[in-house]
């Protein structure tokens, strides 16, 4: 996808957010293969779907930097995103910027296009795939049939991909109000896609955390796995 | 806000006598009066859209740096100054609760409220104003029929016939009632013209049919159904017909006696009236036999601790304090529309409908839903459409942000229809008599620009 030419992006301000080099390299390395329903995966996270894998160092090719923190936390990224959109004073420039970011959204695994991954309340169709890795970081993938919605998803994922669940859950709609594009003011209407996606990301994160906590504190409730057993005595 | 004098066009070019000659309104009105006179003189060269636009202050604004082009009339219509003034006048001079009060304000409010009822009755040619029940909107009116008539008349195995193109408000209440009574819902599909299949409907009507629920004009397809014929077929088996006239009453002459409809519903806000009020027309003999829907004040005769007796229709179905000012506003809207003439509005909108369809067809990769207009097939002045590879919400957003053009995108409260058409959503441009050919031109220009913009990303 070619970036917008200067004729279509009137704003001369640099596009800041997605120059974060941590976004793409790590995103490319996340190879989370969803098992089909017939295969009994070794590691299963039952957060609303049987098809998620809990990412662990044994079963996948994930290169999550163990123990590494991002250069920018979620709140830093929120501020960066907000300031970028705030600098675009013409609403149409925000639309164009969103379309630019839409083109950068990572491809969506077709097998994750499930009813339980639909984000409720959107005028467009949005699918959100969320998972938690062994370090407790959350990862997201999203897709939509609308380019503008994809742009929103792209921005939100940039902010929250690979973050701590607490940071994700702590993001409020008010902080991101500057992203209001096509929906004037602080309208709480059904068509406010990015708010619905944000709420969905927070809810799914909370659910993943709760599931993980159950797994970690009640290991005997799950069949013991030969290569990884988490118990109160350690791993 | 532009204060205006309501000038009836074109045969009654008199200034509103309520406005005193010394007020500034008079001078403005006089300017408009002379404009309308010149409209009479040059009849045919000033379109209805141009001549009525000055009456709608909301249309004269800019959004996002462009002139507003309002093409979302099927969602709600704009209100002329006459209606706004009627509302303001009500609240400023005689607001009072209706029906039971003794004092002057209450008597005046009651008179005006009941006068509004008479206006509605006359507008749709009901035989008596007691056949008009004021509700919150058409949705509530349909629910009234469902819960009141439906619960007492439907049995297990009774059939209700609907089309897949019905608005959700005409489907969902019947799903609930069908569950409660054991009635069965049967749906008519679309024919090759993308119109509800009238022959299929005729074939479905049987001795088991108790009710046929159909729209008069479709809010997505723009098609018009032959209600007179449907009523004849339904009555032949003793079934009743409920007509959803939300998209027809504002745009054409609707005659409930001519149609012989048993029930008819419409909303004020789609016919230049305020939100918060709508009405149900029901034949007297039907309403008389129906139990109340909502219980409370106004609809009772006597109340005891262990039982109550109920008022006659229409009061029986109007529990609580009604939307008095709003009903009076609806009356003012009816006066305004009648002043223009519904036939004239319909003729103008037909022209505009054909123009819109023709121009939309010129947009590459567009798919317009509903029938192609022809000599026997008339479309309403609305088009739902999709452009290949561009989500309608993206189209609508860009049109709004870049061009100030207001259209709707989504399923337009017709999910079953969209499922049948194989799409999740569509965009819809819908016109009213205050729109002009220039509005359509601007819309098409903007749409072309929007489509090129999105295609440049592919």
The helix-helix angle for B104-123 and B324-340 (nearest 10°) equals 40
Q: Exposure string (b/e) for A165-182, b if CB count within 10 Å is 16 or more?
A: bebbbebebebbebbbbb
| Predicted local confidence at residue A89, as pLDDT | 82
Mean pLDDT of A186-203: 75
Give the Cα separation of B166 and B142 in Å (integer).
Answer: 12
B247-B251-B253-B256 Cα dihedral, nearest 10 degrees:
20
Alpha helices of chain A — where are they, by DSSP H? Answer: 23-29, 74-87, 91-102, 147-160, 165-170, 193-217
What ipTM, to 2 d.p.?
0.74
- Structure confidence at residue B39 (pLDDT): 41
Strand B366-368 relative to strand B382-387: parallel, antiparallel, unpaired? antiparallel
Q: Which residue of A has its CA nearest to B425?
A: A124
pTM as predicted: 0.80
Q: A68-122 pLDDT, tens per residue?
A: 444 578 889 998 998 998 898 887 888 889 999 999 998 898 899 899 999 987 6
**Inter-chain touch B393–A8, beta carbons under 8 Å:** no
- Chain B contact for A148, CB < 8 A? yes
User: Which residue from B5, B18, B10 is spatially nearest to B42, judged by alpha carbons?
Assistant: B10
Residues of B in contact with A91 (CB under 8 A): 64, 401
Q: Can you name the residues that pair with B384 across neighbouring β-strands?
A: B428
Distance CA B152, CA B180 (A): 11
Residues in A closer than 8 angstroms to B397, CB to CB, are 95, 148, 181-182
Q: Other C-beta atoms within 10 Å of A145: how many?
A: 17
Instruction: Give 3-state DSSP helix, strand, coil % of chain A, rounded to 5.
Output: 40, 10, 50
Residue A183 — very low, low, confident or very high, per pLDDT cuts 50/70/90?
Answer: low
pLDDT of residue A184: 55
Question: Phi, psi at residue B211, to the nearest 5°?
Answer: -150, 140
Q: What is the pLDDT of residues A21-45, one digit of tens each?
A: 334 333 333 333 333 333 333 333 3
**Who's near B272: CB < 8 A, 6+ residues apart?**
B77, B78, B79, B80, B83, B250, B333, B336, B337
Asked if A32 contacts A60 with a C-beta cutoff of 8 angstroms, the reply is yes
DSSP annotation of A188 reads -
**Interval B376-398: pLDDT, tens:** 899 999 999 999 999 999 999 99
Residue B361 among the catalytic residues: no
Give the contacts of B138 (CB within 8 A, at least 6 positions apart).
Answer: B169, B244, B246, B265, B266, B267, B278
- Cβ–Cβ of A125/B397 closer than 8 Å? no
Percentage of chain B beyond pLDDT 90 is: 86
Which residues on chain B are in Cβ contact (under 8 Å) with A125? 424
As a whole number of angstroms, the distance between CA B414 and CA B423 comes to 11
Torsion of the alpha carbons at B21, B22, B23 and B24, rounded to the nearest 10: 100
CA angle, corner B413, sides to B178 and B235, nearest 5?
Answer: 45
Q: What is the pLDDT of residue B37?
A: 41
Is B397 within 8 Å of A145 when comparing Cβ atoms? Answer: no
A145–B contact, CB cutoff 8 A:
yes
Q: Would you place residue A176 in the very low, low, confident or very high pLDDT band (cuts 50, 70, 90)?
A: confident
What average pLDDT score do residues A3-27 get? 42
What distance in Å separates residue B391's CA from the closest CA in chain A?
Answer: 5
At residue B390, φ and ψ (nearest 5 deg) are -125, 125
Question: How much is the mean pLDDT over chain A?
Answer: 70
Query: Most distant CA pair in chain B: distance in Å?
Result: 72
Q: First CA to last CA across chain A, in angstroms?
A: 44
| Structural contact between residues B204 and B184, judged by C-beta atoms closer than 8 angstroms | no
Residue B141 vs residues B5, B318, B322: alpha-carbon distances, Å? 33, 11, 14
Could you tell me which residues come within 8 angstroms of residue A68 by beta carbon, excluding any fewer than 6 positions away? none
Chain segment B323-333, per-residue pLDDT in tens: 999 999 999 99
Closest partner CB to A95 (pick from B390, B398, B456): B398
A10 touches chain B (CB under 8 A): no
Residues 6+ apart with CB under 8 A from B377: B193, B195, B223, B371
**Given phi > 0 = left and psi -120 to 50 = alpha, else beta, which region is B207?**
alpha
| Residue A192 near residue A179 (C-beta atoms within 8 A) | no
Among A8, A92, A123, whose Cβ lies nearest the Cβ of B409?
A123
- The pLDDT confidence band at residue A222, using thresholds 50, 70 and 90, is low
B162, B188 contact by CB (below 8 A): yes
Q: Provide the b/e sequence for B129-165 (b: ≥16 CB within 10 Å).
A: bbbbbbbbbbbbbbbbbbbbbbeebbeeebbbbbbbb
How many C-beta atoms surround the C-beta of residue A89 within 10 A? 9
**Residues of chain B that touch chain A, judged by Cβ-Cβ distance less than 8 Å:** 64-65, 390-391, 393-394, 397-398, 400-402, 409-410, 424-425, 453-454, 456-457
What's the pLDDT tens digit per position in B119-133? Answer: 999 999 999 999 999
User: Hey, are the CB atoms on B391 and A146 less than 8 Å from each other?
Assistant: yes
Q: Please list the ranges in chain B whose pLDDT falls under 50.
A: 1-42
Residue A174 confidence (pLDDT) = 82
CA–CA distance, B257 with B280 (Å, rounded to integer): 14
Alpha carbons A15 and A20: distance in angstroms, whole number? 11
pLDDT band at residue A173, thresholds of 50, 70 and 90?
confident
């Amino acid at each position: 996808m070619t970036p917008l030419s200067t004729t279509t992006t009137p704003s001369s301000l640099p596009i800041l957010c997605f120059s974060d080099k941590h976004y793409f390299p790590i995103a490319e390395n996340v190879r989370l293969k969803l098992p089909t329903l017939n295969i009994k995966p070794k590691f299963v996270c039952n957060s609303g779907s049987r098809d998620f894998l809990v990412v662990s160092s044994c079963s996948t090719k994930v290169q999550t930097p163990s123990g590494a923190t991002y250069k920018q936390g979620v709140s830093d990224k929120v501020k960066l995103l907000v300031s970028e959109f705030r600098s675009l004073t013409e609403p149409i420039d925000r639309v164009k910027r969103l379309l630019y970011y839409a083109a950068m959204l990572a491809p969506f695994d077709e097998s994750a296009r499930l009813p339980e991954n639909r984000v409720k309340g959107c005028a467009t169709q949005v699918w959100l795939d969320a998972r938690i890795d062994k370090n407790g970081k959350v990862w997201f993938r999203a897709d939509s049939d609308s380019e503008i919605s994809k742009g929103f998803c792209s921005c939100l994922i940039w902010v929250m991909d690979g973050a701590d669940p607490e940071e994700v859950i702590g993001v409020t709609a008010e902080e991101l109000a500057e992203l209001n594009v096509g929906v004037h003011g602080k309208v709480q209407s059904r068509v406010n896609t990015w708010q619905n996606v944000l709420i969905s990301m927070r809810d799914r994160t909370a659910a993943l955390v709760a599931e993980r906590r159950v797994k970690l504190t009640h290991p005997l409730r799950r069949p013991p796995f030969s290569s990884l057993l988490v118990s109160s005595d350690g791993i | 806000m532009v204060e205006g004098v309501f000038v009836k066009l074109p045969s009654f070019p008199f200034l509103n006598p309520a406005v005193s000659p010394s007020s500034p309104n008079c001078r403005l009105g006089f300017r408009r009066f002379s404009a309308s006179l010149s409209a009479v003189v040059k009849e045919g060269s000033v379109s209805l859209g141009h001549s009525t636009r000055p009456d709608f202050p909301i249309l004269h604004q800019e959004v996002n740096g462009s002139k507003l082009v309002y093409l979302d009339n099927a969602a709600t219509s704009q209100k002329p100054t006459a209606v706004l003034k009627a509302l303001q006048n009500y609240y400023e001079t005689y607001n009072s609760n209706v029906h039971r009060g003794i004092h002057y304000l209450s008597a005046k409010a009651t008179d005006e409220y009941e006068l509004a009822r008479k206006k509605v009755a006359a507008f749709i040619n009901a035989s008596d104003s007691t056949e008009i029940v004021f509700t919150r909107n058409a949705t509530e009116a349909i629910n009234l029929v469902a819960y009141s008539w439906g619960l007492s008349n439907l049995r297990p195995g009774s059939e209700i016939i609907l089309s897949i193109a019905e608005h959700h408000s005409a489907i969902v209440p019947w799903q609930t009632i069908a569950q409660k009574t054991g009635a069965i819902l049967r749906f008519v599909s679309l024919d090759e013209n993308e119109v509800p299949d009238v022959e299929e409907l005729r074939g479905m009507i049987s001795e088991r049919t108790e009710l046929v629920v159909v729209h008069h004009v479709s809010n997505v397809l723009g098609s018009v159904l032959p209600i007179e014929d449907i009523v004849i077929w339904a009555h032949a088996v003793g079934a009743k017909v409920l007509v959803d006239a939300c998209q027809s009453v504002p745009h054409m002459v609707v005659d409930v006696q001519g149609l012989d409809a048993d029930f008819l519903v419409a909303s004020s806000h789609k016919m230049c009236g305020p939100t918060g009020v709508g009405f149900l027309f029901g034949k007297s003999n039907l309403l008389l036999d129906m139990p109340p829907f909502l219980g409370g004040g106004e609809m009772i005769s006597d109340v005891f601790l262990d039982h109550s007796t109920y008022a006659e229709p229409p009061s029986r179905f109007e529990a609580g304090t009604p939307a008095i000012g709003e009903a009076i506003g609806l009356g003012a809207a009816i006066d305004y529309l009648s002043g223009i003439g519904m036939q004239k509005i319909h003729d103008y909108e037909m022209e505009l409908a054909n123009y819109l369809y023709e121009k939309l067809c010129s947009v590459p990769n567009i798919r317009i839903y509903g029938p192609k207009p022809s000599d026997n097939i008339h479309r309403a002045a609305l088009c739902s459409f999709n452009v290949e590879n561009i989500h309608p919400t993206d189209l609508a957003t860009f049109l709004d942000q870049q061009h100030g053009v207001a259209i709707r995108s989504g399923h337009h409260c017709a999910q079953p229809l969209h499922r049948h058409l194989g799409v999740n959503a569509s965009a819809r441009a819908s016109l009213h008599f205050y729109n002009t050919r220039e509005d359509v031109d601007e819309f098409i220009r903007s749409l072309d620009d929007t489509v090129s913009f999105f295609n440049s990303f592919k």
